[in-house]
Structure 1
């Protein structure tokens, strides 16, 4: 069985969401950041940097949240979360995952880290106007694509999970305020039963 090392409000959320979407049996190992369980000797054997998440599959370990999500998508026997190999949709799938993890993460991660330790009622005031403008520059590139559907059109994929996970962070710290298309897209993602199960 797959084992996901997990902590709430970290990038492990998108991995848990992917597992729920794929319907794959898995064990969730919750780690407490407050108690520094991710720096324990046992966990450092799993992830030498002490970062969360990590996915264990038998005697193999997969690190990095986007890589874990992509791996989970490949393991879905029904192939619901990954476009067919050799298609332009598959190329765009890689494109939007890498776009999210390079461009979006670079402008969302900082404001989110500042919001993370704050009480919930204060988090949405964390991002600055400049940080919202920096995010909108990238969201303008995907606005037409997510206006009425998913990032690849009709097929929901791991690319939506990776993108959606970062938009969830952006919304948490108030960085998504005023980006109406992205806010509506995130609202649709939150309605997915797998998202809701992962958020429990």
Structure 2
């Protein structure tokens, strides 16, 4: 059985939702960050970076959220969460997954951990403010994309593995001055996703309450 190592609301949320959507049997394994469990010797054997999540699939140990989502989509093609390899649709799927993980998520990490890029309090505050502004522009682009492709999902009418990822990252903005939910099309996407039974089950299993996004 698959094992997903998680901590509530962390980057495991996207593959967790995907597993629920697919109906694939799996086991959740809590990595308690409050007890520094992600830096324990046992966990570092799974992910030497000390980051969450990790997926264990038989003899395969996989970290990096986007890689886990791709592996799940490819391992269970009958679930239909990724277009066929070699198609233009697959190329666009790659584009958005990479954009979410390499552009939006990377900027969100800057927002949440500005002290990694500055030392004094004023500089840290500037880094955080600039990161929030950059995130806002990225959310605007995603909002326009949902409008232009007619939605309701990021790639149009059909849900794919990029949509749980977008929900997860949008949720991380919930305490910002202008969170993702404030945008017309992105807000509608988030409300729709939150009503999906698989997403509701995931949020409940991770003990995540209001504000959901």
Query: Which of the five TM-score ranges fits, normalised by the shorter chain?
Result: 0.7 to 0.9
Classify the secondary structure of the residue corresponding to 1:56: strand
With over 3 angstroms needed to count, the CA separation of the structure-2 counterparts of 1:23 and 1:130, relative to structure 1, is same
Deviation of residue 179 (structure 1)?
A: 2.5
| Structure 1 match to 2:90 | 90
| Structure 1 match to 2:195 | 191
Deviation of residue 81 (structure 1)?
A: 0.5
Classify the secondary structure of the residue corresponding to 2:86: coil
Write the mapping of 1:1-200 to structure 2, written as runs, cut at 5 A: 1-112=1-112, 131-147=131-147, 148-176=151-179, 178-200=182-204
Greater shift after overlay, 72-81 or 172-181? Answer: 172-181
Greater shift after overlay, 35-44 or 52-61? Answer: 35-44
With over 3 angstroms needed to count, the CA separation of the structure-2 counterparts of 1:111 and 1:84, relative to structure 1, is same
User: Which structure 1 segments of 5+ residues have no match?
Assistant: 115-127
Deviation of residue 129 (structure 1)?
A: 6.7
Q: TM-score scaled to structure 1, two decimals?
A: 0.84
- The separation in 2 between residues aligned to 1:136 and 1:80, in whole angstroms, is 31
With over 3 angstroms needed to count, the CA separation of the structure-2 counterparts of 1:175 and 1:110, relative to structure 1, is farther
- The separation in 2 between residues aligned to 1:35 and 1:140, in whole angstroms, is 37
Classify the secondary structure of the residue corresponding to 1:81: coil
Instruction: State the superposition RMSD in angstroms.
Output: 2.2
User: Which structure 2 segments of 5+ residues have no match?
Assistant: 115-127, 205-213
Post-superposition Cα deviations, 1:29-66, rounded to whole Å, max 9, x if no partner, equal: 01110111112221121112221110001111111011
- The separation in 1 between residues aligned to 2:29 and 2:49, in whole angstroms, is 17
Deviation of residue 136 (structure 1)?
A: 3.0
Classify the secondary structure of the residue corresponding to 1:185: helix
Classify the secondary structure of the residue corresponding to 1:55: strand
Q: TM-score scaled to structure 2, two decimals?
A: 0.79
Deviation of residue 67 (structure 1)?
A: 0.8
CA contact (8 A) 1:3 1:26 kept: yes
Post-superposition Cα deviations, 1:129-169, rounded to whole Å, max 9, x if no partner, equal: 75553223223333233233111111100111222211111
Greater shift after overlay, 89-98 or 36-45? Answer: 36-45
